Amino acid sequence: MKQHLIVLDLDGTLLTDDKTISEKTKLTLEKAKEAGHQIMIATGRPFRASSVYYNELMLTTPIVNFNGALVHHPNNKSWQTIHSPMDISVVHDVVDSVDKYQYKNLIAEVMDDVYIHTEDQSMMDIFKMGEPNVSIGNLRKNLSDDPTSLLIHATEENVPSIRKHLEDVHAELIDHRRWGAPFHIIEIVKKGLNKAVGISHVAKDLGIPRDRIIAFGDEDNDLEMIEYAGIGVAMSNGIDQLKSIANEITLSNNEDGIANLLIERLKLK
């Protein structure tokens, strides 16, 4: 069988609800590698919060982080890193314009530096993975570099109105996605960035055509990736919008959905 590129989202897809990779899925991915296929991760997480899974699977491929704002190769420094941060002036405009909305917090990330607008232990718990450099205080004053991403933490009922505002006022300069439950967070990156953009760079580097890309996802930050892949697979626990455009729907992240589909598709014993 010709070489395929298998692309894995993390939360709600590769990872079970307890944030682990099941033994069956891990074994199946190892068999896929032995059969000559390439495996990569594409996630909204920064690398510091995804490296543990990259290393657990013993991957040797580039990785897409921050929903496409960072594409890099952890083990090959000669591979050209693609980092596409937002202009800081755009972030300042967004921060100013959402002040009239009720939100809980703002968080900016510059690679592995985290800037939190208001002190909040729950935010510290989310971002402590990988031991980043954390600064707490007014983003307008503390943030001096172009950020890789900006997060708006809001109540569930306020997320739609904030996203509509971002679409109405800032759509020409930014793209935004929402995190899955239980976090009601809007993630903002530079306009035109998404997982599919990052994957296209990697696929070109590996010499694997689009029709031999199998991508798995569950949330709205996977939409472009699932549409781009030759075989776009939605998890059964995924959102309806993703399922409606996917080529296939597999079992949930807690039921070895990735493993079951790959065993059948790639004829893995």
- Encode 74-124 in three state secondary structure: CCCCCCCCEECCCCHHHHHHHHHHHHHCCEEEEEEEECCEEEECCCCHHHH
Distance CA 159, CA 245 (A): 24
| Contact (CB, 8 A) for 158 and 139 | no
Residue with tokens 């998890």: 235
Give phi and psi for 32, each to the nearest 5.
-65, -40
Catalytically annotated residue among 9, 11, 218, 222: 9
Rounded Cα distance between 225 and 6, Å, is 12
The DSSP code sequence of 31-83 is HHHHTT-EEEEB-SS-GGGTHHHHHHTT--S-EEEGGGTEEE-TT-TTS--EE
146 is catalytic: no
Q: Rounded to whole angstroms, how far apart are CA atoms 259 and 32?
A: 10
Angle at 137 between CA 115 and CA 178, to 5 degrees: 45
Residues involved in catalysis: 9
